[in-house]
Structure 1
Amino acid sequence: MLPGVAGSAQAASADAAAAAGSTGAKGGTSGGAAAPHPAATVFDPIRPPSVPLAVRSPYLSAWLPSSNSAGTWPTFWTGRIMAMTGIAQIDGVPFLFLGSPNIDGQVLRGMAQRSLTTTATRSVFLFEAAGVELTVTFLSPVEPGDLRRQSVPLSYLTADVRSADGAAHDVKLYFDISGEWAHADSGTSIGWAAEQVSGAGGGSLTSLSFSPDGTKTLAENGDMATWGTVVWSATNRSGLTWQIGADTAVRPAALTDGKLAGSVDSRQPRAINDAWPVFAFHFDLGRVRASAQQAVLSVGHVREPAVSYLGTPLPPLWKSYWASWQKMAAFFHGDLTTAATRTAALDRKVRTEATAAGGAKYAALCALALRQAYGATELVSRDGAPWALLKEISSDGNVSSIDVTYPAMPVFAWADPGYLALLLAPMLEYAEHGGWPKEFAEHDLGSSYPNAAGHNDGNEEDMPVEESANMLLMTAAYLKGASASDAKAFATTHYTILKQWADYLVANALDPGFQNQTDDFTGFIGHSANLALKGILALGAMSQVAAAAGNAADRTRYLGVAKDYIGQWVGKAQDTTPDHLKLAYDQPGTWSLKYNGYPDTLLGLGLVPASVAAEEAAWYLTQANPYGIPLDVRHAYTKGDWEMWTAAWLRDHPVSGYLIDSLYEFAHTTPTRVPFTDWYDTVNDKPSGGFQARPVVGGIFALLSVAR
């Protein structure tokens, strides 16, 4: 796999010791088998806080909350168990490599985990036991510029086995998942089916699927969908058998009989926790030598409808390309070879360009962030046109929160500006035609995903300067990456609403009143220097929108206002010391990260004086803690996305490298094993709140987006 920076032996040993404490984890289909862990796993290029496994959409989001997969159940991003089991039988001896199953009360031997490699699209585990090497790859494709493939809510799992000692070995692989993948409440009844699906190019696959019984559509339980179908498929090959049944029957049968019965448990529907039905595949690979033998699986979650917009159900975009999930799954399996090539190229692009922009540790952070950022979004169809919607995962559950899309924006601006336009489209549509009643931009499209119910009564979490500025800045970021014709069409189509928001900022951005802003956990604030900076730069962005639309007069006007305001801003924000900028105009002796300086660099506005940037860069280094620089003077916590925005803005100053190194150390060493958090304590190396798996980690790509 792709080379990188290997984790230090010290960090690896510490992580192995921490992970060993979880080997007796119970829950789900488990009685809690404890598998022995190897000494130290080599982490290349980073030890993820939680390893992304199948991370493809808001409801296909499976993670490993440890570094060693044997003895630990995968979970949904919330921490709820989504059991997946992996066992290798080598010359008749079973070895556990994934999950924590209880099989007739026996403790299985564990395969030694030699390494864990994280790329932008893959998590690759390398195991070894009894002269056999096993590579297990979880591949969640990200497909910039390809809406058809990006719309597929499926993820690959491949297992490659070869002899490591020169001898031939008899190898069998067993995989299963539990009904816990279908619903957050284990008391919920599910029904299931098995079928043969014709594949592309003459191949075929076996698909085991299951769904909640008595489905309630367009609703959630514990942040998991209460409707839809889990699809678990394997490419057919010689030696493949399958079975649906109780965990206590299926797993022992696989190990005892060396195959599965090809039978479907007839007692359905029944509760997920009623004799714990599992969905199992068994691969008899025969005599394995130096040439690798491969087992190919996929897992996904399909829903129809996908979301609703102002009460109208919207289908997933993949339905525009395939009539059924079966046809989509067949295509997905047939596409593996080319998907592997495309995603490997993307992995190399991320690694190479990120290393050039910020070094090896920065490239590691980008690799960790890509799937998480895209995995909070999904593509739907509205009247035949594609839209991308985003879930504000963990922090609020809102639909397409503008101030969550904004910090995530750099990854889309760098990887696929067209995708950014699709994210902006429903936000603009709602303000233009959906009934939003206020002069400034809305906060979100609905309080609870997947229902974009809007806020036509005006009752929402208003962030007037914040969201209006965010929309202008994101629009300008898209225009920068679009073709001239596409930029003109977009700017012209949405000019009226964008101008309305710009005029609101002309009246309110220089000295914002007592308003809420994106860091709402810090509370409302008046006269915020950072919020004012955002609003002023947004006026500069509006000048670019006007230029794209061919409105020279507005271009001159908004740029002139922005230049006038930035001069006043420097005076108002400067602390009396005077060696840094204040948190708020009326709060001398305070300071904050002015991460909103990043759009000045991204858009090439050149509004913030270089002397101000240098002053802030020097000041921030005096405030550094072991794991980063606090968000402001009031707390020890920070936000990783804003640190990387700051690093991009100040990329020519030493503080940029410090911010990268400290965020890497947090992610690489934090003992709290949840999907990459953006809100954490810079002193104690732990998350500060419940933020996890959020798309805002797309902000880590800020340096890439401004790389020269």
Structure 2
Amino acid sequence: MSESSTPSTAPGAEDETRGDAAGVSRRGLLARSGAVGLGAAGAALLPGAVTAARAAAPAGTAGASPDAAGAPPLPAFDPIRPPAVPLAVRSPYLSTWMPADVPSGHWPTFWTGRVTAMTGIAVIDGVNYLFLGAPNVPDHPLPRGLVQRSLQLTATRSVFTLEGGGVRMTLTFLSPVEPGDLRRQSMPMSYLTAEVRSIDDAAHHVALYFDISGEWAHGNSGTKIRWAQEQVAGAGSGPSLTSLSFTPDSPQVLQENADTASWGTVVWSAANQPGLTWQIGADTVVRPAALADGRLGDTSDSGQPRAINDRWPVFAFHFDLGSVTGAPRTAELSVGHVREPAVSYLGAPLPPLWRSYWSSWQDMAAFFHADAGAARGRTDALDRRIQKDATAAGGPKYAALCALALRQAYGGTELVSRDGKPWAFLKEISSDGNVSTIDVTYPAMPAFLYTDPEYLRLLLEPMLDYPENGGWPKEFAEHDLGSSYPNAAGHNDGNEEDMPVEESANMLLMTAAYLTRADAAAAKEFATAHYTILRQWADYLVANALDPGYQNQTDDFTGFIAHSANLALKGIVAIGAMGVVATAAGNATDATRYRATARDYAAQWVGKAQDTTPDHLKLAYDQPGTWSLKYNGYPDALLGLGLVPASVAKEEGDWYLTQVNQFGIPLDPRHSYTKGDWEMWTAAWLRGHPVSRILIDTLYDFATATPNRIPFTDLYDTVSANQTGFQARPVVGGIFALLSLGR
């Protein structure tokens, strides 16, 4: 991109583009006061509400009348106006979003807010229409833009419907989620499809121009990159491809810059068809050439390597679709980020799992394009299943939240091969950046449990292998597998962010949840293989969970706490979960003992946690007059343990009804912020109580009203709808908590 077309382009300026929240660690949030600006609060914004603040508010229906100035109707958002629109979201390093309601005039960004430019221009009967990005094209001003009629969001795709010049374009960004299919799930690639047709009964000559910038390759735009063009043979009956690829000239393997991989290759491919041309070169050269000549030169700049911000090399495709009538004409592209190795585990580099199926990224890309039609069918079926099940579980607003959350949950993970066996790792995006953080995997669990329990098992495997074989020195479970993704270096010196009751309980609860969904043989094998370490953690909880000492816990931004009622509940339910593990392993004696202990502790817990009023449970045993969301009631419901009395659950639900703010219920009375994942866990635990629907509705209202145009945050203020911290984290998988109860 040219200097005039990029909002922040100076070397070293990338961190400034990220915004405050992207770089704040969970521990760094301890300094925040929780105070909010009361002027930011307002009425919840719902679909169909046409507001005066057109740029900031969710839009109206597709059939809304023009406003008083005669402007086109506001676009419809079905079923939600997302804070940021997921475009290509497939892995921790392929995570690009549109931080605006409409794609024209705005640059896509990496999840941090750093620009990852993508441009789209339609030429209809000789008139140029911008529909994606914010380019400055020398000698070719772009005063026209396609008018967005709607944005449809499903669990796997974002579909923009745009019109102009007598033509309708359907622009679809599809990032597949492939439950039960490790080969397809392992592909770090995403589809982009543009379908155009005439809508005025006339024929129109249409051409489409797309490019992406070198910014996709590295977090610092002063970095030098190399590039290549090649023809890739089709797979089976699939199309051949023109692939444009680029990579850092001096890759730093297994290192990051601004949360972006400092090694690997960006792969940008188009399915070959008549009228397709390509070019690699400076943005100020390539874009004007396409608009002036109606084609690209099929040439590549020879001056490489060169810095991303040195004449801004772009990687461009031009589709001359010819005369377009009522029958649709299509341009199909894909974008991916491939790297080898994917991660390291205790010093050993591990390859991405896709390398177990294809010998090269070229072969994988060819398969990906050949599979496009089938992928659309599979993901459409998944989208419809989630919509149907979620609507039944929590209503249409709940289904909308699930649609917004799924790609983000899976996009924080990736599949690798370890000694020929598949494993999955998770990045703690936007907080500490740790590898496979247990208390980040735990809130994300419901999404994997609902869509693919075996994927949850793959996430658990390395978390169990490390304490079993890797040198973890403590009696309780580790917090994470490494301080900085993608290096799972462990903590053999024991120096980490200890959360003793928290992480030990999380591991038992996730394991038991998996076992309840696995077939009997697989459950027995898994429980038996890991029984020793799981029983060690269960015994730690027996000794420490009923009245936890002064410990850290998952909501570490609130600080250490002693006698925490919610943490105690987690530990007690986890002891009950060990009964599930013991049963799966065939150890009836242990099963009876752990279940009896859990029941005894639960009865004591009710007495210790009950406030003196007494109409609710306390935040901590020694803090009368306080309260907190007891979201750890959810795993009790999930596992069917029945440890929390129904009367206590009702009492809590009734209390929460008195604490509702405009955009949700605070975590506890110390702050006005909350966490969306824990709200949905609470809604699942209290399903059937009126507060469950209120929690869903207010989280939906937050998502539609928040002024922060970032990937879905899980930590936000319930008064102002402002982000308090975090974004793009996989913990939004917790939104699937209600769905997970029905399977």
TM-score (ref. length: structure 1): 0.96
The 1-side partners of 2:91 and 2:718 are apart by 30
**Residue 196 (str. 1) matches residue 231 (str. 2):** yes
The 2-side partners of 1:382 and 1:200 are apart by 27
- Choose from 148, 173, 177 the match for 2:183: 148
Name 2:47's counterpart in structure 1: 8
- Choose from 257, 261, 264 the match for 1:225: 261
Name 1:409's counterpart in structure 2: 445
Alignment of 1:72-471 (within 5 A): 72-104=106-138, 106-202=141-237, 203-471=239-507
**Aligned residues with identical type, % of pairs:** 75
The 1-side partners of 2:142 and 2:331 are apart by 25
Q: Which moved more, 1:433-442 or 1:9-18?
A: 9-18
Contact 1:19 1:68 in 2 (8 A): no
Contact 1:625 1:683 in 2 (8 A): yes
Q: Deviations over 1:130-150 (max 9, x none)?
A: 110000000000000000000
Name 2:9's counterpart in structure 1: none
Q: CA deviation at 1:11?
A: 5.3
- Partner of 2:55, secondary structure, is helix
Q: Deviations over 1:98-134 (max 9, x none)?
A: 0000001523311100000000000000000011000
Q: CA deviation at 1:18?
A: 6.6
Q: Deviations over 1:166-197 (max 9, x none)?
A: 11000000000000000111100000000000
The 1-side partners of 2:159 and 2:50 are apart by 19
Paired residue type of 2:76: V
Q: CA deviation at 1:38?
A: 5.3
Name 2:94's counterpart in structure 1: 60
Contact 1:188 1:271 in 2 (8 A): yes
Q: Deviations over 1:71-99 (max 9, x none)?
A: 00000000000000000000010100000
**Residue 688 (str. 1) matches residue 724 (str. 2):** yes
Contact 2:46 2:58 in 1 (8 A): no
The 2-side partners of 1:79 and 1:37 are apart by 30
The 2-side partners of 1:8 and 1:461 are apart by 42
Q: CA deviation at 1:652?
A: 1.2
Q: Which runs of 4+ in 1 moved over 3 A?
A: 11-20, 36-39
The 1-side partners of 2:71 and 2:131 are apart by 10
Structure 1 residues 18, 619: closer, same or farther in 2, change over 3 A?
closer
Name 1:69's counterpart in structure 2: 103
Name 2:667's counterpart in structure 1: 631
Q: Deviations over 1:576-621 (max 9, x none)?
A: 0000000000000000000000001100111100000000000001
Q: Deviations over 1:294-321 (max 9, x none)?
A: 1000000000000000111000000000
Unaligned runs of 5+ in 1: 1-5, 21-35
Alignment of 1:44-59 (within 5 A): 44-59=78-93
Name 1:3's counterpart in structure 2: none
Q: CA deviation at 1:632?
A: 0.4
Contact 1:37 1:70 in 2 (8 A): no
Q: CA deviation at 1:17?
A: 5.2
Paired residue type of 1:362: Y
Contact 2:85 2:158 in 1 (8 A): yes
Name 1:620's counterpart in structure 2: 656
The 2-side partners of 1:155 and 1:463 are apart by 37
Contact 1:91 1:170 in 2 (8 A): yes
Name 1:23's counterpart in structure 2: none
Contact 1:7 1:45 in 2 (8 A): no
Contact 1:16 1:68 in 2 (8 A): no
Contact 1:54 1:155 in 2 (8 A): yes
Contact 1:126 1:133 in 2 (8 A): yes
Q: Deviations over 1:48-71 (max 9, x none)?
A: 000000000000000000011000
Contact 1:11 1:669 in 2 (8 A): no
The 2-side partners of 1:37 and 1:148 are apart by 48
Q: CA deviation at 1:19?
A: 10
**Higher RCO (CA-CA < 8 Å; seq separation 6+):** 2
The 1-side partners of 2:505 and 2:721 are apart by 32
Q: CA deviation at 1:8?
A: 2.8
Contact 1:7 1:43 in 2 (8 A): no
The 1-side partners of 2:439 and 2:578 are apart by 18
The 1-side partners of 2:412 and 2:362 are apart by 24
Structure 1 residues 12, 418: closer, same or farther in 2, change over 3 A?
farther
The 2-side partners of 1:379 and 1:75 are apart by 24
Q: Deviations over 1:393-412 (max 9, x none)?
A: 00110000000000000001
**Residue 551 (str. 1) matches residue 587 (str. 2):** yes
Q: CA RMSD in A?
A: 1.3
TM-score (ref. length: structure 2): 0.91
- Partner of 1:638, secondary structure, is strand
Contact 1:16 1:40 in 2 (8 A): no
Paired residue type of 2:740: S
Structure 1 residues 592, 537: closer, same or farther in 2, change over 3 A?
same
Q: CA deviation at 1:633?
A: 1.1
The 1-side partners of 2:56 and 2:336 are apart by 33
Alignment of 1:561-572 (within 5 A): 561-572=597-608
Contact 1:123 1:138 in 2 (8 A): yes
Structure 1 residues 84, 37: closer, same or farther in 2, change over 3 A?
farther
Contact 1:37 1:68 in 2 (8 A): no
Q: Deviations over 1:212-260 (max 9, x none)?
A: 0111100000000000000000000011000000000100010110000
Contact 1:196 1:206 in 2 (8 A): yes
Q: CA deviation at 1:16?
A: 3.2
Name 2:23's counterpart in structure 1: none
The 2-side partners of 1:282 and 1:12 are apart by 38
Q: CA deviation at 1:669?
A: 1.1
Q: CA deviation at 1:14?
A: 3.4
Contact 2:545 2:572 in 1 (8 A): yes
Q: Deviations over 1:339-376 (max 9, x none)?
A: 00000000000100000000000000000000000000
The 2-side partners of 1:249 and 1:7 are apart by 44
**Residue 605 (str. 1) matches residue 644 (str. 2):** no
